[in-house]
Structures are given as C-alpha cells and as structure tokens.
C-alpha cells in the first residue's frame, strides 16, 4: 500500500513539474535541433524523443514571434509563495487539489490538499522529500529519494526550450488578470511530426507562474493562481524528519 501512495505522489509531483516546465522531450540530442543560416531548421532535425521536426522557414519565424519575450520572462527565478487551484485529468480520472508552491534560492516545495490525502514535497539541490498524510490520520509519513534530473525546477525549463527553438512555436495570447496580477500569456506547440502537444502559460512581470494548462499524451494539468506572495521563510524550505530512504 505504501508503494501505491509513493507512486501516486510521484505522479502529482511530476505533473506539477510539467506544469512549470515546457515539454522536456523538445531538447535536441547531439545538435539535431540546429538551425540553418536563415533561421530555418536544418533538414532531418530531431527532437529529444527521436521524432523528427518539420523544417521551419519564414512562416515559423513569424508564428514564433513570442519566443524571445516568453523565454525572457520564464528565465527569471523570483522568490515566491503562490497558491493554486489544480485540476489533473488522467486515465479518465479527475483529481482536484489546492496546491501551494514555495520557491527561494534554488529550493522548491509544493503542498497539495486532496479530498482524502495531503502531500508535501521538497525539491532540494541534493535530494527530494515526499510526505503523505492519509485520510483523517494525524501521522505524516515522509520518504527521501535521490534527486532525478527531471526535478531541476518547478519553474519553466527555459534551457531545454532555447536549445530546441525549431521544435516549438510560441505565440502571444491576450493578457489576463489572475489573482490580482497582470499576466502575459503564451501558447506553446511542440512541432514534432505525428504529435502536437500544446501548453498555455501566463506569467507575471517578474516571471511568477500565474496559469498553466499542459496537455500531454494521457493527461491534462491545469493550475490557476489564487494568491501570490513574494516572501518565503527559510524554515518553509526545510523538510521534516524522514521515515524511510528510497534508493534509486
């Protein structure tokens, strides 16, 4: 039973990471995402998952006019504490949660309150810690796991997007006011042949994520900010004692 909850928590955390970072499969391998001198993609370009990316020309450049602006905003790494309404649809199931995300100095924490379970997760430079409280129980079980490469940030993985510019079309959407903050909004489309996963993001002027909707093969995750703070105490980013260490 313990293993089930660990896997469930990993799914939730993984989707949270996805909501803040564009599809990581866009990272090119071995320079396959290189562009020609006119800005178009070199023939035979491949995305990081091995799928080919259609050659891009002037039409792609025009459609990708929001790229630099989006990357500039998403490159910021502010300190924040943001509350979100979260909805995850996966395998025919809908899971709703209240989620709070903390970020400061390269450390991240996310707390989620589901109908029958509460979770807390810390993504730290050297490890991750997951904590679960089930049902009406007062006891919280905490597990430590090695930090995986995919858990580098709860923000947008800008480097992977920049390194695969030819694989993405980023267009500017209408601005929105969310949680009292004016957000600049963008639509990202991953241009691999045979698939076109899409995502939408709205970012505050200092790069805080206000809204995201990420659609992947078997899941959709939507997060909408309900309150935004810009101060985090160091104590909020210190995990509690652990019950068990999970080896890689």
Say how far apart CA 127 and CA 142 lie, in whole Å: 13
> If you average pLDDT over residues 2-6, what whole number do you get?
41
Gyration radius of the chain over CA positions = 19
Q: Give tens-digit pLDDT for 67-125.
A: 999 999 998 889 999 999 999 898 888 989 999 999 999 899 999 998 888 999 999 88
Say how far apart CA 154 and CA 156 lie, in whole Å: 7
Say how far apart CA 215 and CA 68 lie, in whole Å: 23
DSSP label of 55: -
pLDDT at 39: 38
- Of 88, 108, 107, 106, give the one whose Cα is nearest residue 98: 88
Q: Give tens-digit pLDDT for 156-169.
A: 778 888 888 888 88
Q: Give tens-digit pLDDT for 184-198.
A: 999 998 876 555 578
**Residue 108 region by backbone torsions, left for phi larger than 0, else alpha for psi between -120 and 50, else beta:** beta
Please check whether residue 84 is in contact with residue 224, taking contact to mean a CB–CB distance below 8 angstroms: yes
pLDDT band at 16 (very low <50, low <70, confident <90, very high): very low
b/e per residue, 12-39, with b = 16+ CB within 10 A?
bbebbbbbbbbbbbbbbeeebbebeeee
Q: How many domains does the chain have?
A: 1
Q: How many CB atoms lie within 10 A of CB 154?
A: 21
Range of the domain at 93: 2-245
> Domain with 193 in it: what CATH number?
2.50.20.10
Whether the per-residue pLDDT at 230 is higher than 80: the answer is: yes
In 3-state terms the chain splits into helix, strand, coil percentages (rounded to 5) of 20, 40, 40
> If you average pLDDT over residues 198-214, what whole number do you get?
94
- Of 248, 153, 163, give the one whose Cα is nearest residue 207: 153
Q: Mean pLDDT for the chain? A: 75
Whether the per-residue pLDDT at 25 is higher than 90: the answer is: no
Q: Give tens-digit pLDDT for 236-245.
A: 999 998 877 7
């Amino acid at each position: 039973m313990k293993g089930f909850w660990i896997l469930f928590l990993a799914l939730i955390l993984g989707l949270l990471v996805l909501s803040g970072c564009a599809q990581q499969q866009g990272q090119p391998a071995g320079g396959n995402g290189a562009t020609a001198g006119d800005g178009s993609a070199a023939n035979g370009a491949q995305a990081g998952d091995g799928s080919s990316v259609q050659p891009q020309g002037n039409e792609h450049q025009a459609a990708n006019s929001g790229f630099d602006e989006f990357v500039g905003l998403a490159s910021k790494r502010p300190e924040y504490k943001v509350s979100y309404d979260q909805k995850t649809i996966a395998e025919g199931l809908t899971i709703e949660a209240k989620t709070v995300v903390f970020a400061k100095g390269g450390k991240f924490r996310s707390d989620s309150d589901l109908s029958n379970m509460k979770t807390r997760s810390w993504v730290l430079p050297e490890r991750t810690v997951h904590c679960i409280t089930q049902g009406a129980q007062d006891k919280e079980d905490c597990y430590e796991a090695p930090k995986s490469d995919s858990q580098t940030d709860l923000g947008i993985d800008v480097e992977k997007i920049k390194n695969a510019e030819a694989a993405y079309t980023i267009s500017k959407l209408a601005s929105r006011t969310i949680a009292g903050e004016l957000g600049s909004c963008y639509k990202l489309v991953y241009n691999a042949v045979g698939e076109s996963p899409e995502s939408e993001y709205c970012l505050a002027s200092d790069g805080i994520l206000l809204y995201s909707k990420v659609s992947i093969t078997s899941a959709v995750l939507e997060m909408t900010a309900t309150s935004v703070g810009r101060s985090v105490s160091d104590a909020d980013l210190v995990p509690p004692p652990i019950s068990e260490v999970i080896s890689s």
